[in-house]
């Protein structure tokens, strides 16, 4: 009986690379085709109203809370616990798993999957792409803004006061507004809002609490966190609209937020 020789390591890597390229090319073709045949009719979200509320909340936090936060810096009870919790507002907790999943999905032989497994992998891939887009894009913008604005952090309240601006100083001391951690939490809230609109208040409490830890550790003023949270949420909602146009996760609606599709499940249904 003849034994087929095992493929060499080089041949295996070549096959995986070819499959990865084919998957990426097919994905781009799907996106281009759907953009071409689906007009840009996004839900009629009242963005000016959202923006006005965001600005007013940020201004209110600045007027009423920023100075007390600067004065009380270092005197918060439970600051050590806040230092532990604030780590979970880092973007890496959400960007790295999402990116790794997309890499795995890109290397997967989708044609070998059963329909049940295919839908499950497809849904997780769409979610990873949504999180990566919302958190990643908002994170890029907030880093540009915070160094362009150059607001001093409350750690240096005694030296610089509540509103000291050093634009383009490229110094971590002057990178307070908006908060990057709060922006990440705002983006996660926006994703959860789109996926679970009936449980929005639970998502808001949890994500806002993690964002607020930036105040207790002395890294940001309250207005920094409010501004960042609103920025991240807006990016997530905008990404959700684009995904709805493409038919990924959501379906578009004439007005209001995109609605999650019935086929979107992250756990395989029991047979």
Q: What is the pLDDT of residues 49-96, one digit of tens each?
A: 888 999 999 999 999 999 998 888 777 777 788 888 899 999 999 999
- Counting every residue, how long is the chain? 271
DSSP state of 63: I
How far apart are the C-alpha atoms of 86 and 83, rounded to whole Å?
Answer: 5
Confidence of residue 112 (pLDDT cuts 50, 70, 90): confident
Tokens of 33: 């085709």
User: What's residue 210's pLDDT?
Assistant: 95
pTM assigned to the model: 0.90
User: What's residue 5's pLDDT?
Assistant: 59
Is the Cα torsion angle 188, 189, 190, 192 positive or negative in sign? Answer: positive
pLDDT tens readout for residues 201-224: 999 999 999 999 999 988 899 999
Residue-wise over 223-238: b if at least 16 C-beta within 10 A, else e?
A: bbbbbbbbbbbbbbbb
pLDDT tens readout for residues 121-159: 999 999 999 999 999 999 999 999 999 999 999 988 888
Q: Is 206 helix (H, G, I), strand (E, B) or coil?
A: helix
Tokens of 231: 């920025």
DSSP 258-269: -EE-TT--SSPP
How far apart are the C-alpha atoms of 166 and 171, rounded to whole Å?
Answer: 9
Contacts of 227 (CB under 8 A, 6+ apart): 54, 58, 177, 178, 179, 182
SS3 content of the chain, % helix, strand, coil (to 5): 70, 0, 30
Percent of the chain with pLDDT over 90: 50
């Amino acid at each position: 009986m003849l034994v087929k020789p095992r493929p060499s390591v080089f041949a295996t890597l070549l096959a995986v690379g070819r499959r990865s390229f084919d998957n990426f090319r097919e994905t781009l073709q799907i996106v281009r085709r759907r953009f071409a045949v689906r007009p840009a009719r996004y839900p009629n979200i009242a963005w000016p109203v959202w923006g006005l509320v965001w600005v007013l909340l940020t201004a209110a936090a600045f007027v009423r809370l920023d100075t007390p936060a600067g004065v009380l810096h270092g005197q918060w009870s439970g600051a050590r616990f806040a230092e532990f919790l604030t780590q979970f507002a880092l973007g890496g907790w959400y960007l790295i798993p999402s990116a790794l999943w997309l890499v795995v999905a890109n290397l997967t032989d989708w044609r070998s999957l059963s329909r049940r497994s295919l839908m499950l992998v497809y849904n997780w891939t769409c979610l990873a792409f949504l999180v990566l887009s919302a958190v990643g894009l908002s994170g890029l913008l907030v880093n540009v803004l915070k160094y362009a604005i150059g607001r001093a952090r409350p750690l240096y309240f005694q030296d610089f006061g509540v509103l000291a601006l050093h634009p383009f100083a490229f110094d971590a001391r002057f990178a307070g507004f908006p908060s990057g951690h709060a922006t990440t939490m705002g983006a996660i809230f926006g994703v959860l809002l789109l996926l679970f609109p009936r449980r929005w208040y639970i998502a808001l409490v949890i994500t806002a609490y993690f964002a607020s830890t930036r105040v207790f550790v002395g890294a940001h003023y309250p207005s920094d966190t409010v501004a960042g949270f609103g920025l991240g949420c807006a990016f997530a909602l905008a990404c959700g609209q684009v995904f709805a146009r493409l038919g990924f996760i959501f379906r578009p609606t004439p007005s209001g937020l995109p609605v999650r599709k019935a086929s979107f499940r992250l756990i395989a249904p029991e047979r």
